[in-house]
Amino acid sequence: MDDQAVLRTTPLHALHLSLGAKMVPFAGYDMPVQYPLGVMKEHLHTRAEAGLFDVSHMGQVIVKAKSGEYADAALALEKLVPVDILGLKEGRQRYGFFTDANGGILDDLMITNRGDHLLVVVNAACKDADVAHMKANLADCDVTLLEDRALIALQGPRAQAVLAELWAGVSAMKFMDVREVPLHDVPCIISRSGYSGEDGFEISVPEAHAVDVAKALLEHPDCEAIGLGARDSLRLEAGLCLYGNDIDTTTSPIEASLEWALQKARKAGGDREGGFPGAERILGELANGTTRRRVGLKPEGKAPVRSHAKLFGDAEGKTELGEVTSGTFGPSVEGPVAMGYLPVSHAAAGTTVYAEVRGKFLAMTVAALPFITPTYKR
């Protein structure tokens, strides 16, 4: 009970309880892990219809240059991330990560050009450190953690139809577009993005109106509340990283197979080559390769292979190669799915490796990510 006393709650906490959610501590918050529907049906419902997720625990941060110029904020943040932010158009969003001097990953984040400032969304567990990191390194910017806004994710093939009940203009948005729109006369910031592999939206709502907006979306017959349990299996099937599991300060973006997130402007020969922490290692690995890579892993049997299971090159457990960083049962794949790190010698799709589970060595095949076909609206 002492643990519960210090847990924070989101603006939707009472709604979760009223919906019968099973609550668990997550990143310092009391969060819904599942509703009465259960993880399996919640996952499948999101892939078939639409799911509503409370992600208000994540950090929403405004970065605004003291000059008031977007370019100054963009160039400042580029000192911390290996991503082209100057070239990001107004009303567009991009994935990135804070790197450290060793080329490791401090956190991953979403970055939006909001005209005269940046809106960045960071992981709940990292948000205090991220804000401190930005404040310490972006002297000519004001960095403000928004404590008065909820964040609601709406994911799935019916997400557009559900959101269209509140705003007909939603159909004009494309993947990674961001718009400020009144929902129920409340100014909300909507991005067409998510963490499920499905088309969908993340909606930033002023705290006082979060329950109204969530309830209005849940009124749609195709929309169900979905907990963190299904959020994890959805993102893993979609091949998306979970910070702290699949990426952290011991993994470089290139080892993590995230090189697609680095645009030309920041790579060798680009207009603003390097200039981010760990650039020497990261650009070096881009040019010369790395010794290990994050890969998809498909267990051949029915047993899920969980994070930290050790991976071997042989069925006797003699040659240790690496470990699983995320693993679960994928309800849409109808079988276990996992991700992990392997030496490049064993990282090609189709390679067989062996995971140690309860004293047995279970065969897994290196598989292309994602495990499902994403339905992003490009």
Partner 1 sequence: MLKFTAEHEWLKLEGDVATVGITQHAADQLGDLVFVELPEVGSELTKDGNAATVESVKAASDVYSPLDGEVTEINQAIVDDPSLVNSDPQGAAWFFKLKLKNVSDVDGLMDESAYKDLIG
Cβ proximity to partner 1, 261 vs 303, nearer residue:
303
User: What is the smallest separation between the CB atom of 116 and partner 1, expressed in angstroms?
Assistant: 43
What is the nearest approach in angstroms of partner 1 to the Cβ of residue 203?
Answer: 26
Region 180-239 residues binding partner 1, contact defined as CB under 8 A: 229-230, 232-233
Name which of residues 355 to 374 contact partner 1 (CB under 8 A): 358
Contact between 304 and partner 1 by CB under 8 A: the answer reads yes
Pairwise CA distance, residues 114 & 342, whole Å: 39
Kindly tell me which of 180 and 300 has the beta carbon lying closer to partner 1: 300
Quick one: which segment of 35-43, 169-177, 263-271, 347-355 binds partner 1 (CB under 8 A)?
Answer: 35-43
Is 46 one of the binding residues for partner 1 (CB under 8 A)?
Answer: no
Q: How far is the CB of 129 from partner 1 (least distance, A)?
A: 27
| Cβ nearer to partner 1, comparing 89 with 358 | 358
Q: Is 150 exposed, middle or buried (0-12, 13-18, 19+ CB in 10 A)?
A: buried
Cis before residue 370, ω within 30 degrees of 0? yes
Q: Which is nearer to partner 1, 42 or 54 (CB)?
A: 42
Tell me how long the chain is.
378
- Alpha carbon dihedral 127, 99, 205, 112, in 10-degree steps, equals 160
**Residue pointed to by tokens 């995971």:** 355
Contact between 41 and partner 1 per CB under 8 A: yes
Residue 40 class from Cβ within 10 Å (0-12 exposed, 13-18 middle, 19+ buried)? Answer: middle
Q: Under the criterion CB under 8 A, does residue 78 sit at the interface with partner 1? A: no
Answer for which of 11, 23, 34, 324 binds partner 1 (CB under 8 A) is: 34
Give the C-alpha distances (Å, rounded to integers) separating 200 from 154, 191, 196, 203, 288.
Answer: 6, 8, 8, 10, 37
Task: Classify 140 in phi/psi space as left (phi over 0), alpha (psi -120 to 50) or beta.
Answer: alpha
Q: Map the footprint of partner 1 across residues 162-181, applying CB under 8 A.
A: none
The window from 102-110, 113-121, 179-187, 325-333 that contacts partner 1 (CB under 8 A) reads 325-333
Token duo for residue 133: 């990191």
Q: Select from 38, 115, 182, 275 the one that contacts partner 1 (CB under 8 A).
A: 38
Nearest 10 degrees: CA dihedral of 282, 283, 284, 287? Answer: 130
Q: Are 167 and 160 in contact (CB under 8 A)?
A: no
Q: Which of 8, 306, 310, 377 lies at the binding interface for partner 1 (CB under 8 A)? A: 306
276/329 with CB nearer partner 1: 329
CB nearer to partner 1: give 22 or 179: 22
Question: DSSP assignment of 231-289, as one string?
Answer: HHHHHHHTT---BTTTBSTTS-TTTTT-GGGS-GGGSTTSTT---STTHHHHHHHHHH-
Would you call 367 helix, strand, or coil by DSSP? Answer: strand
Q: Which residues contact 63 (CB under 8 A, 6 or more apart)?
A: 73, 76, 77, 117, 118, 119, 120, 134, 138, 141, 142, 143
Size of the site for partner 1 (CB under 8 A): 20
Closest separation between CB of residue 192 and partner 1, Å? 27
| Footprint on residues 14-33 left by partner 1 (CB under 8 A) | 33
Name 221's Cβ contacts closer than 8 Å, sequence gap at least 6: none
Is the CB of 84 or the CB of 237 nearer to partner 1?
Answer: 237
Considering only 104-112, 132-140, 160-168, 328-336, which stretch makes contact with partner 1 by CB under 8 A? 328-336
Smallest separation (angstroms) from partner 1 to the CB of 359:
11
Select from 328, 338, 347, 369 the one that contacts partner 1 (CB under 8 A): 328
Question: Residue 228 or residue 342: which is nearer to partner 1 going by CB?
Answer: 228
Q: Which two tokens stand for residue 362?
A: 């279970």
* Footprint on residues 117-156 left by partner 1 (CB under 8 A): none
Residue 355 near residue 311 (C-beta atoms within 8 A)? yes
Told to check if 318 binds partner 1 by CB under 8 A, we report no
DSSP 138-158: -TTEEEEE--SEEEEEEESTT
Binding site for partner 1 (CB under 8 A): 33-34, 38-41, 43, 229-230, 232-233, 302-304, 306, 328-329, 331, 336, 358
